[in-house]
Chains A and B, each alone.
Chain A
Amino acid sequence: MLTYALRRILGMVPTLLLISVVCFVVIRLQPGSFIDQYLEDPRVTRETVELVTRQLGLDQPAYVQYLTWIKGIVTEGDFGYSFVNGRPVSSLIWERLGWTVFLAVLTLLVSWAIAIPLGIYTALNRYGPGATILNFFGYVSLATPDFLVALLLIALVLNFGGTNVGGLFSPQFIDAPWSLAKFLDLLNHLWIPMIAIGLEGVAGLMRQMRASMLDVINQDYVRTARAKGLAANRVLWRHAVRNAVNPLISLAGLSLPSLISGTIIASIVLNLPTIGPFLYDSLLNKDQYVAMTLLLFSALLLLVGNLLADLALAWADPRIRFE
């Protein structure tokens, strides 16, 4: 298993290189450049534009820019400078990583905790009124974009005279030290992003779990287990669910990159201090090293997620072997 994992990790290197080339090309293909925003200001002369272009290394051929960047990463772990912020990219990402991971992990946990039982319930009571209602809500929330849910929730809160519209804290708590009041304030704000971002995930996972469960409970071995007189609960949890959950483990692996790019619009609408809007800004401003680092990071998360999912599958299902 260790050699398998190592082989997979080594295999990531060429993949990532290829992805970084593609990202770089795509970013370069966008019309305009970072310097454009400077032109609008009458203070900026052609001389300044040329000097800034040189300062940023944008006067060099594209392949030189790319190779310099890659070299920095490999030799010094330096992901380049942000043109916009004039600071190393890594420190900027680090600043925003905490809340991003917190929100992503929390959303994942909450949506799994709700979705799995609902999926099982709707599969077992396929034609019951409860399942029908849940399915209906599932469809609706799948079809509603997360930012729209966010806007509706904000409107609702405003109508009831609330002040927790967006952000993670009330203004006075943002830079206050941690206290019980700050924690309660966080909870008071957190439920809106949880619903807005998590709802779509819950609906999707629930449908997935239901479908996979329906597959499994009609299998011969489940019928055999029942026929042998095994307790209904034991059949369900030990045999059915354990087999049905496999596709969801793969799915969880694939959801790791959403840490970065999953909730850009909802984060902007809800004013969350996460990485998504940062990526969006860097793409708009053609802040190429920030955009490339984030896209590369996202690709890495996808590959790592896949690997983790495969390892988890092997652990969960003894039938799977590393070949």
Chain B
Amino acid sequence: MPTRSPLPRLCGLAGLVTLALCSGALAAPKKVTGYGSLGITNGKPGGTYTLALGDSPQSLFYYGVIDNNLGLISQQLFDGLVEFNYATYKVEPALAESWTISPDGRTYTFRLRQGVKWSDGQAFDADDVVFTYSQIIMNPEARAGDAASFKLDGKQVEVRKVNANTVRFVLPRPSPAFLLQMRSFIMPKHKLLRYSQEGGAKPADINTAWPSNVREADVVGTGPFRLSNYTAGQKVTLTRNPNYWKVDARGTKLPYLAGLEFLIIRDPQAQVAQFLAGNIDQLNISGAQFPDLKQREVAGAPFKVFRSTALFGSPPFVAYNFDAKNAALARVFSDVRFRRAMQSALNRERIIDTVYNGLASAPGHGIAPVNREWYANTTRQLGSFNLAAAGQALDALGLRDTNRDGIRNLPGGGNLEFDLTYGTDSSVYPAIATILQSDFARIGVKVNLRGILSSRLLSTGQSGDWEMILHAFGDQPDPELRKPIWQPGGALYYWHRSLQPAQDGGRPNLTRMASWEREIYNIFEDAAVTTSASRRKALYTRWQLLFAQNLPVTPIAKPENIGAVSNKFGNYIYNLGVIPGYNPVPLIYQK
């Protein structure tokens, strides 16, 4: 019989503590409890919950394709060693029941939860974990693997089986965010061995495992559900995994639901129509759709619309190309006074009101304001919308309208005129771009809109062929996870491309960095090897202030997340989408 234990919460704090805090009990299912603040109650078993899927899954093997739709399904089929607490986003035990971290921060030893079974009845053990990490995740040919995160300073992280229930990772250097990498889904060795190098296949063959026409019974996981049927282009049906390892506060086996279905519906309007018709039970919607659905809710429709200031989600920003092809523009864009002046011409309130229907708030700088563990209050540096001040600042920079054509001139005489690259197939980018264009025009800065597909934004940014860009990167709980984005010279730090190292993994061009960029660079280097939590907090606080003052990019707003759920179901917790280690669906029950 499972007994209530304080283990989950203790272990949640264990991230940086180097003692063995948790000692496992035998065959202990995880008790999911303590979410009263989120409105979670004891549910009852049964019922089928239907969700929408934006397109057919491209494969059923999570590490074979980068595909959001597959991610949504995989999240219900597999688990990681650790997971997030639904309320605090702290790391908790999942398939690992407990872990220890050596005092030098380089050895992580995980004790696996005993008695866990794969959905086909086979026992889950250390071999599966070692197999998943060494043969799949660390395989650079796996298209959706994560080999880069397991190579620190060019050296491979080692993963070893200690005994059937213990796995050890040895790192070349300390990595305080390493525990978060342990959220990766563990795959069944007994089903996937023959696609791996260990099983005699070529490294790239792993991508061919479990194609979308795989026999359903071959897709085996430890997750709350198992694959029961896939009808191409129409529907994915999952049924309850009777072997799941979580129970609720009363000891009732989770998940409550007997089945989970995904209807494949491409068009967002069609998804809303299916939701209104009652064929879909839950849907994440945009700020633009909120008023219509909320009105229907108030008028008595059988669903509720929830707003959530969740940690995840992508706050949009604008960036100016420090290395723009036009040298005069590049010089202006590199000047922090210009970027600050343009921030005063950025009407955040109007964007929040008209583009997001008020369902957004002031952004943080690299950290979501709701992330209490790391967020430093930078709201003062956001300034306020003031066109007169923006104009004066541009005047002071010598960017005046010398030829009286209504557009300011660059020092060389050319117009202060540039392209704004944005994604056309988005519900927010086009509207934000138009607002920026009209406000900037009022202070004599001419912006030409250049629309591209949103999926091309990053590659365009990285190609350097742009002047100003409107883009977004997702927020994560730990800043370490966003290092390639925000560390100058990082692979995704594309607004100052000339800092990037000549070779992948090499040292960035430090001499070209502004002093604040060099400081941010050093902060990320230090924080990546510091094990002291307070020291990391101090470093990342300094980074956020430098970010806010120097504006490598100018954040615009932090959108709220909005979900609508049918009244037939209880225990709904907002879920952005694919966040490994954050899956509240097992708690949902049919009333």
Contact = CB atoms under 8 A, between A and B. Distances in A.
B141 A277 contact: no
B65 A84 contact: yes
A231 interface: no
Given A45-B147, A273-B232, A284 B453 contact: yes
Given A86-B58, A163-B278, A43 B148 contact: yes
A165 interface: yes
B504 A271 contact: no
B48 to A, nearest CB: 8
B492 A42 contact: yes
A166 B273 contact: yes
Contacts of B354: none
Interface in A263-283: 268-271, 273, 277-278, 281
Contacts of B393: none
A35 B464 CA distance: 17
A43 B146 contact: yes
B293 interface: no
Interface string A83-119: 0111100010001100000000000000000000000
Interface stretch (A63-71, A167-175, A296-304): A167-175
A164 B140 CA distance: 46
Nearest to A277: B266
Interface in B255-300: 261, 263-267, 269-270, 273-274, 276-279
Given A86-B207, A270-B270, A47 B147 contact: yes
B73 to A, nearest CB: 15
Interface stretch (B28-36, B115-123, B208-216): B208-216
Contact of A48 (B148, B455, B462): B148
Contact of B234 (A40, A43, A167): A167
Contacts of B233: 95-96, 273, 278
A55 B267 contact: no
A215 to B, nearest CB: 42
Nearest to B209: A86
B58 A154 contact: no
B323 to A, nearest CB: 18
Interface residues on B, range: 35 or more
Contacts of B207: 55, 86
A81 to B, nearest CB: 10
Contacts of B149: 43
| A38, A96, A171, most chain B CB atoms within 10 A | A171
B267 A268 contact: yes
A151 interface: yes
A44 B481 CA distance: 13
Given A87-B212, A96-B233, A271 B491 contact: no
Contacts of A162: 277
Interface residues of A, number: 51
Interface string A18-47: 000000000000011000111111111111
Nearest to B462: A39
Interface string A187-214: 0000000000000000000000000000
B234 A85 contact: no
A174 B264 CA distance: 11
A204 B235 CA distance: 35
Nearest to A54: B204
Contacts, number: 148
B66 interface: yes
A51 interface: yes
B58 A84 contact: yes
Given A85-B58, A151-B269, A269-B269, A36 B456 contact: yes
Given A36-B456, A48-B143, A55-B204, A85 B211 contact: yes
Given A46-B491, A85-B58, A39 B277 contact: no
B484 interface: yes
A171 B456 contact: no
Nearest to B503: A46
A55 B142 CA distance: 10
A47 B491 CA distance: 12
B249 interface: no
A86 B65 contact: yes
A10 B302 CA distance: 62
Contact of A174 (B140, B141, B235): B235
B211 A86 contact: yes
A225 interface: no
A32 B266 contact: no
A16 interface: no
Nearest to B455: A37
A26 B143 CA distance: 27
A96 B143 contact: no
A267 B397 CA distance: 55
B145 interface: yes
A48 B211 contact: no
Contacts of A73: none
Contacts of B196: none
A52 interface: yes
A163 B504 contact: no
Given A39-B462, A47-B140, A47-B504, A96 B58 contact: no
A158 interface: yes
Contact of B213 (A44, A95, A269, A273): A95
B204 A166 contact: no
Contacts of A171: 50, 235, 261, 263, 279
A174 B265 CA distance: 13
Nearest to B144: A43
Nearest to B276: A158
Given A42-B484, A45-B491, A271 B267 contact: yes
Contacts of B485: 42
B74 interface: no
Interface in B438-478: 453, 455-456, 458-459, 462
A273 B56 CA distance: 10
Nearest to B67: A84
B504 A31 contact: no
B274 A165 contact: yes
B218 to A, nearest CB: 15
A95 to B, nearest CB: 4
B148 A47 contact: yes
A268 B232 CA distance: 15
A269 B269 CA distance: 8
B144 A39 contact: no
A52 B64 CA distance: 11
Interface string B231-244: 11111010000000
Given A47-B148, A85-B58, A174-B235, A166 B274 contact: yes
B453 A167 contact: no
Contact of A87 (B213, B261, B462): B213
A269 B270 contact: yes
B23 interface: no
Nearest to A163: B277
Contacts of A170: 279
Interface string A130-170: 00000000000000000000010011011000111111111
Nearest to A35: B459
B204 A271 contact: no
A37 to B, nearest CB: 5
12 contacts: A43-B145, A43-B149, A45-B140, A48-B140, A48-B148, A55-B141, A84-B65, A151-B269, A171-B50, A174-B263, A175-B234, A268-B270
Interface of B: 50, 55, 58-59, 64-66, 140-141, 143-149, 204, 207-208, 211-213, 229, 231-235, 237, 261, 263-267, 269-270, 273-274, 276-279, 453, 455-456, 458-459, 462, 481-482, 484-485, 491-492, 504
Given A85-B65, A268-B267, 18 more contacts: A42-B481, A43-B149, A46-B504, A48-B143, A48-B145, A52-B141, A86-B59, A87-B212, A158-B273, A163-B277, A165-B270, A165-B274, A165-B277, A171-B263, A171-B279, A268-B270, A271-B264, A284-B455
**In the A-B complex, the 4 residue pairs with the closest CB atoms:** A273-B233, A45-B148, A163-B277, A95-B232
